[in-house]
Amino acid sequence: MPDADPARFLSDLNALRTIGGVSGDHRGVIRRAFDADDVRARLWLADRFADAGLNPVIDPAGNVWGLRGPLLLGSHTDTQPEGGWLDGALGVIAALEVARTNSDVSVVSFQDEEGRFGATTGSEIWSGALTLSAADKLTDLGGLTFGDARRALPATGDFLDPARFTAYLEHHIEQGPVLDTAGQVAGVVSAIVGLRQTDVTLTGQQNHAGTTPMHLRIDALRGLSDADHAIRTALRNVATPQSVWTIGHVSVHPNAPSAIPGRVRFTVQWRDAETARLDRMEIAVRDALDRVARDTGLTLTISDTACLPPVDMNDGIRSALRTAARTHAPGKWRDMPSGALHDATNVSRLMPVGMLFAPSIGGVSHDFAEDTAEADLVTGLRILADAARALT
């Protein structure tokens, strides 16, 4: 079995970042699911699969497959609104290079991992956790539905039967500072943390900003500030140093300089590796929001909680990755959890999964400045190739 070719791998990776590249060196990339550049990239990828001797298939959700062997490798090629060039793309192009040298490997680029419409939408549909008809009703922030958007990339085949694959292995950048800070070049993922998220609306009284006395205001934005403090206080005795939580997307109405905000909508998301702690964090978050509403006179609306459970990586795949890491990065790798969500979470419903991390310089991701040293990219490729060889 021939070795993977680092030069060809880097050439493909650099070619992909020119599609949707937004800076002089194309380090920053914008490829939102089903936009023009995402479609161009997926068609380009299908051609690269065919050139490598794989059978390219685009399924109805926009996932792009390069089919041959039973071991599935891949990730995603869509990006954040201001995305880096390696998030997801590294795993797909590394998988392509491994498939060139290992006939037992197939490759996938899942659609909408970055959540323009949902969250890891393409792999969620393929895993059976979300029906295509339900996905078609999802909308982006501009109101475009997934169903309308996917018309830009016509399917060339149906959904693949998961039974044709024996396992899934995903290579990805860490998207955090641990490896870079420690001077390490690879991380063998032990588990992907669980995630909970809810949408919250606080409704007060929209009114004139100049004529309404402060003591008579029912200011929804002030409620958001109170909610942030209340949630942090409530989680102080529940969370561990590894737990994280975020108040994310915020929408203020009417969002005008001379109007008291009458409504604010925001997301609350929390992550942890233990299901029981996620449960306790949810109780704390909801109790904190209830107290804020009572104390401020605001009306509180909370959605059902979206849940993704923690996922342990398969022991056999981890063992293969560890062995390869000892060979190619002796003393410069570690076992570590993933704090970020990945397609492997959904695929774990269907088959054993494993993940390998490469370092992110400065811990930066979801930003145009995202980068990884070429030498570290090549080391990750070699670890991935050796692990795939051991698993086939």
Which residues does the annotation place in the binding site?
76, 87, 114, 172, 366
Pick out the residues of the known binding site for Zn(2+). 76, 87, 114, 172, 366
CB atoms within 10 A of CB 103: 12
Helices (H) and strands (E) in the chain, counts: 12, 16
Which has the closest alpha carbon to 313: 387, 253, 367, 254? 387
144 DSSP 8-state letter: -
- Provide DSSP, 254-285: S--TTEE--EEEEEEEEEES-HHHHHHHHHHH
Rounded to an integer, what distance in angstroms lies between the CA atom of residue 11 and that of residue 232? 46
Rounded to an integer, what distance in angstroms lies between the CA atom of residue 178 and that of residue 329? 16
| b (16+ CB within 10 A) / e for 175-191 | bbebbbeeebbbbbbbb
333 DSSP 8-state letter: E
